[in-house]
Amino acid sequence: MVKVDGNKGYIAINQYDGKIRRKTVRTMARVTGLSAIVMSALMLSTILLACAPSALGQGIHLKPTLTITSLNPQSREVTVTPSSIGSATFSASVTVAKPPAVGTVMVSLDATTSTGWATTVSPSTIPFTSPGSQQISVTVVVPQATPTASIGQVTVTGLGTYPGANTNPATAKATVTITQYFRIQPQSMQSFVTIGPGGQAVMSLDLYNRGNGLDTIDIEVSNLKDLSKKNWMVTASAYEVSNVVQDEYQTIKLQVKAEKPTIISYKRSEITYIQLNVKSGNAGIMGLTEIKTYMFAIVVDGWGIPGFDVTFMIMAFAMVTTALAYHKRKKKF
């Protein structure tokens, strides 16, 4: 006989004089609820496995990954000269992550520069039998006399190969810039001239920029005071030329006038020098020094008569001589 007492909250069974009390009932209810949850989870898993493709068959979570850290440092400045090359070295880390089921991942690396400079990466191939990382170095060789305006973009590319497939490629970048150096070269087709006493001459001076960037070139007559004491006059068409391109030149004119004679005089091969200092203006701005010297030799030779230009006198003498010779020939006929 079973008696249900709802007021007391438990079920009483008149068998063997035993009772199933309230605590026992609660425990049984919990077990029943847990069983229901487990059954629901099993049913949901069965549905998902039936609808979704096999994870093993599709290779989900089995594809290795390849990464390359940023090149260190991100930028380097290289110094070159007209006769020597320069180089820059960068470092990075190559990392491969892969599950044990995948065999060896062979990583191939290549490096290039946007300017075409010779670029190498070491090592160029790395086998990964297990997940891990390895350091690499990248070296860029910059040719001699490279212009400072050249900027090289360095790119390292990596690709991993494993049985049956490849990883996604990975890249890293850095920048190479060029330090400016300064070289100037004064040059003239005629470094000396001959004039008479009180005569004058005009000479050309080519100012070459042998550096690797735009430059401003200045000149000055370093012995101007001494020349002035001798009553010589020296003037230039310009004392500064700006924005001279690498391996190009600009020309200035130098006008020189010798001392005028005060009495009739004769000078034979008397040499006066015009000394010039040629400077790189841009080097001075950067706190550097680039100065070259150049000298013109002026040879004073001949007669000097006050109030007369010697050159004019020579021309006049030649004209008179020619006229006399013409008249003599005419009388013969």
Q: Fold match between 65-178 and 186-316?
A: yes
Fold assignment, 186-316 = Immunoglobulin-like (2.60.40)
Instruction: Provide the pLDDT for residue 1.
Output: 46
Condensed to tens digits (0 to 9), the pLDDT of residues 13-56 reads 444 444 445 555 455 545 455 565 656 665 655 554 444 444 34
Locate the domains of the chain by residue range.
2-53, 65-178, 186-316
Q: What is the model's pTM?
A: 0.66
8 Å CB contact between 157 and 109: yes
43-47, 182-186, 203-207, 211-215: lowest mean pLDDT where?
A: 43-47
Dihedral sign, Cα of residue 75, residue 245, residue 190, residue 193? negative
Fold assignment, 65-178 = Immunoglobulin-like (2.60.40)
**Counting beta carbons within 10 angstroms of the beta carbon of residue 156, is it exposed (0 to 12), middle (13 to 18) or buried (19 or more)?**
buried
Q: Is the pLDDT of residue 322 over 80?
A: no
Confidence of residue 177 (pLDDT cuts 50, 70, 90): very high
8 Å CB contact between 183 and 117: no
Condensed to tens digits (0 to 9), the pLDDT of residues 154-174 reads 999 999 999 989 999 999 999
Condensed to tens digits (0 to 9), the pLDDT of residues 113-134 reads 999 999 999 999 999 999 999 9
Condensed to tens digits (0 to 9), the pLDDT of residues 244-295 reads 999 999 999 999 999 887 766 667 778 999 999 999 999 999 999 999 999 9
Instruction: Provide the pLDDT for residue 321.
Output: 72
Per-residue pLDDT, averaged over 102-110, amounts to: 96
Instruction: Provide the pLDDT for residue 106.
Output: 97
Q: Dump the DSSP string for 10-32.
A: EEEEEETTEEE-HHHHHHHHHHH
